[in-house]
DNA sequence: ATGTCTTTGTGAACGCGTGCACAAAGATGG
DNA sequence: CCATCTTTGTGCACGCGTTCACAAAGACAT
């Protein structure tokens, strides 16, 4: 899980568990694919397989939304698409601003999965004056000075932060002050926000580190036992497909970290 | 939560709970920042605040790793950095390949948070022949034909998929066949992999949809009640900072979805 | 050496999420 | 109209994760 919610301690917002909400987009994606193939109905078993979850879980999730299935038949695809979209609030238009137009910000601006879900990129904002006016994904980049104006005039409630870690909190504060109440944070920092503001974070390197943990485990316990002694990491061992692999001895003395995504400052 | 593990049903790998593993990178980041400021020790309370978690949770997490703290004082920053790094397997070198060098793939290649964590981008792979040889982040892009060779010769165990959804499963299969056992998937698809292979996924639009859900909730129940009728979404309502805001009526008839990240095919 | 003060490490309780397993519901065929 | 078959919806039990609260442990001052 690349993310985790901040504030609001597990308040299940009106009966729908948080875990269920997190799976609704998954179901929606699978259902959309079925819809495009003009499949009229789908059983919980089939849909669960397509979404990569347990069928009992899926049925329980849907039961929180109401009884939208027909026993002996399954669920009506189109109807379910509508119900989930409505529940997630995707039937309305969500203007979004992206702050920090570096590599990642540009990737997000170009991401097709937004527009098709009711999200509209209202503006791209960057602190670099030389980027002002330059079109990215067909949208001209605007300077940070315009942030407050843009947010207010477009009624933006959702902001995406793709700046370096150092700039994230300040950008966050300004977004919140201007009226944003939901933030998707790609900067590797913990943002502090007032109550009532939701923050979700995506940290690319965290995911990789979790994978590394399990990968190390798979590599066998003997290697772990060896480094568990005082030995300061005797280079990679590669029990299985050991090729040459340019090895490095340690990762701690690796120069300045900074821990920033490769994006332009904002 | 942008992610979720696939397969391996909650097996706590040698006593360390999955939830704890997922937080270790958070602690590590906070500790690294302290280390750079030459802070010698830190209390669970301070570190928890910096990492954005509960202090009791942090102490329990650390208790799974062993007793590394000193009562009345706190934790030794440097020692803890080393212990967590070792536990996560970051003291060794992890060669990684990125497949699909579009906007997102390029952003990942440029991402600074990898190298500082023991991850080394061994190769960039794309299916587009015209990209072959073109340097991205200082690394020449190689054609997909080379995938198996690259993985084998570099002893790569971790692969990152940043291709469109349509190409993801095939890329995944080839990576696994070549020896990759951990995959970080940015393509909006459910990947099926054999047992023993870990998959973590990051879906940008899912995070945004979860935010939209809570945002809709905040906007008040009256608007939800209105659309709950047969009315096909009466445009945005903006209870609070209602500006003009270019409104759109519906998001369902929005043209072809495709649901692909804006990257080149691989 | 002894007492006080700070902070860790953890036992225990609680709540949420998951998955089993089955009864109820409806479709379908005779 | 009845029997059978499929599939939903959910009661229930279990396990994981979180949090509280406190005893144990060590630092530090006197």
In this predicted model, what pLDDT tens digit does every residue of B151-202 receive, in sequence order?
A: 999 999 999 999 999 999 999 999 999 999 999 999 999 999 999 999 999 9
Task: Give per-residue pLDDT as tens, B156-170.
Answer: 999 999 999 999 999
The answer to whether A39 contacts chain B (CB < 8 Å) is no
The answer to whether the Cβ–Cβ distance between B251 and A117 falls below 8 Å is yes
Token output for A180:
């944003």
pLDDT of residue B14: 60
Residues 60-79 of B with CB under 8 A from A: none
Contact yes or no for B27/A30 (Cβ under 8 A) = no
Q: Where in chain B is the domain with CATH 3.40.50.720?
A: 94-204
Q: Is B191 annotated as a binding residue?
A: no
Contact yes or no for A51/A23 (Cβ under 8 A) = yes
Mean pLDDT of chain B: 83
The answer to whether the Cβ–Cβ distance between A107 and B111 falls below 8 Å is no
The answer to whether A195 contacts chain B (CB < 8 Å) is no
pLDDT of residue B100: 98
The answer to whether B261 contacts chain A (CB < 8 Å) is yes
pLDDT > 70? residue A256: no
Q: Which 8-state DSSP code applies to residue B14?
A: G
pLDDT > 60? residue B23: yes
Query: B94-204 has which CATH code?
Result: 3.40.50.720
pLDDT > 70? residue A259: no
Token output for A27:
């179901």
Nucleotides of D under 7 A from a protein CB: 5-11, 15-21, 24-28
The answer to whether the Cβ–Cβ distance between B248 and A32 falls below 8 Å is no
Nearest chain B residue (CA) to A259: B113
Q: Where in chain A is the domain with CATH 1.10.10.10?
A: 13-88
Percent of chain B at pLDDT > 90 equals 73
Contact yes or no for A158/A96 (Cβ under 8 A) = yes
pLDDT > 80? residue A235: no
pLDDT > 70? residue B147: yes
* B63 CA, C2 C1': Å apart: 31
Residue A14 pLDDT grade (very low, low, confident, very high; cuts 50, 70, 90): low
- All residues at 6 or more sequence positions from A29 whose CB lies less than 8 Å from its CB, including other chains: A51, B188, B259
pLDDT of residue A15: 82
Residue A155 pLDDT grade (very low, low, confident, very high; cuts 50, 70, 90): very high
The answer to whether the Cβ–Cβ distance between A95 and B245 falls below 8 Å is yes
Say if domain B13-88 classifies as CATH 3.40.50.2000: no
Percentage helix, strand, coil for chain B under 3-state DSSP, each rounded to 5: 45, 15, 40
Residue B113 pLDDT grade (very low, low, confident, very high; cuts 50, 70, 90): confident
Report the Cα B231 to chain-centroid distance in Å: 38
The answer to whether A260 contacts chain B (CB < 8 Å) is yes
Q: Is B105 annotated as a binding residue?
A: yes
Residue B219 pLDDT grade (very low, low, confident, very high; cuts 50, 70, 90): confident
């Amino acid at each position: 899980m690349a993310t985790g919610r901040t504030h609001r301690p597990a308040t299940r917002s009106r009966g729908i568990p948080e875990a269920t909400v997190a799976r609704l987009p998954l179901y929606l994606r699978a259902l959309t694919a079925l819809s495009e193939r003009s499949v009229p109905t789908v059983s919980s078993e089939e849909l669960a397989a397509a979404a990569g979850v347990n069928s009992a879980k899926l049925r329980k999730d849907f039961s929180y939304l109401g009884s939208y299935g027909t026993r002996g038949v399954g669920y009506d695809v189109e109807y379910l698409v509508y119900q989930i979209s409505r529940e997630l609030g995707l039937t309305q238009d969500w203007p979004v601003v992206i702050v920090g137009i570096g590599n990642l910000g540009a990737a997000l601006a170009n991401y097709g999965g937004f527009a098709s879900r009711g999200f509209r990129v209202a503006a791209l904002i960057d602190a670099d004056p030389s980027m002002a006016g330059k079109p990215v994904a067909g949208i001209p980049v605007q300077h940070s000075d315009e942030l407050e104006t843009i947010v207010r005039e477009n009624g933006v409630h959702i902001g995406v932060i793709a700046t370096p870690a150092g700039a994230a909190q300040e950008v966050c504060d300004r977004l919140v002050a201007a009226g944003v109440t939901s933030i998707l944070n790609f900067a590797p920092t913990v943002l502090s926000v007032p109550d009532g503001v939701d923050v979700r974070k995506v940290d690319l390197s965290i995911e990789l580190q979790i994978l590394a943990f399990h990968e190390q485990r798979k590599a066998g316990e003997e290697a772990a036992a060896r480094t568990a002694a005082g030995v300061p990491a005797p280079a990679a061992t590669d029990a299985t497909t050991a090729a040459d692999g340019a090895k490095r001895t340690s990762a701690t003395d690796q120069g300045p970290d900074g821990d920033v995504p490769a994006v332009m400052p904002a």
